[in-house]
């Protein structure tokens, strides 16, 4: 049995409080899942105030997402976010599933590392060309770790708006 291991090294300061991040973008990102169905997720892009630091993207599952989950579509979503926002890579990608999106479960966070951050166009599938990036690996994170990464210590919890959308931070 062969085990293949890889390590992703990103420049992330140990004390994020000394390296401020700011929320540069917060939007609903549309994508097509593997079956070609329209889907959507919430994307927040946190940019570091220092150019040598790594930016953070938080991709949240929406409770009313009509398509496949963000986990099943992560390579397509990440490629689209990187392309559309012209983001430098590598970056820190975090999947967030708020309590409202877990069918009664608890809120979760996962750090997602990709084997390659190069965005590639794949041959047409269901009549469309799609952008993809490398294979993904997930590692469970706790809320405190995510708060340190984006420099948001003071706020906790998610708030469900009257419109049904989820506000987190």
Beta strands in 49-135 (DSSP E): 56-61, 92-97, 108-114, 120-125, 128-132
* pLDDT at site 117: 93
| Structure token pair of residue 164 | 């049904």
Distance of CA 135 to the CA centre of its chain: 14
| Structure token pair of residue 130 | 């799609």
Write out the DSSP string of 77-96.
HHHHHHHHHT--SS-EEEEE
139 vs 159: which has the higher pLDDT: 139
Q: Are 129 and 121 in contact (CB under 8 A)?
A: yes
d(CA 101, CA 103): 6
* pLDDT at site 164: 45
Per-residue pLDDT reduced to its tens digit, 6-58: 444 444 444 444 457 889 999 999 999 888 889 999 999 999 988 788 999 99
What is the domain partition of the chain in residue ranges? 19-149
């Amino acid at each position: 049995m062969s085990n293949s291991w890889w390590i992703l090294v990103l420049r992330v300061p140990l004390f994020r409080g000394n390296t401020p991040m700011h929320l540069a973008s917060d939007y609903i990102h549309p994508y097509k899942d593997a079956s070609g169905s329209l889907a959507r997720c919430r994307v927040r892009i946190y940019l570091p105030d220092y150019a040598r630091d790594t930016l953070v993207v938080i991709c949240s599952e929406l409770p009313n997402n009509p398509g496949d989950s963000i986990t099943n579509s992560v390579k397509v979503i990440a490629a689209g976010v990187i392309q559309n926002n012209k983001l430098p890579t590598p970056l820190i990608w975090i999947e967030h599933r708020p309590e409202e999106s877990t069918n009664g479960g608890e809120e979760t966070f996962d750090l997602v590392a990709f084997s390659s951050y190069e965005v590639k166009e794949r041959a047409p599938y269901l009549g469309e060309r799609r952008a993809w990036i490398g294979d993904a690996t997930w590692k469970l994170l706790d809320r405190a770790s995510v708060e340190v990464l984006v420099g948001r210590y003071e706020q906790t919890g998610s708030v469900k708006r009257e419109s049904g959308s989820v506000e987190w931070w």
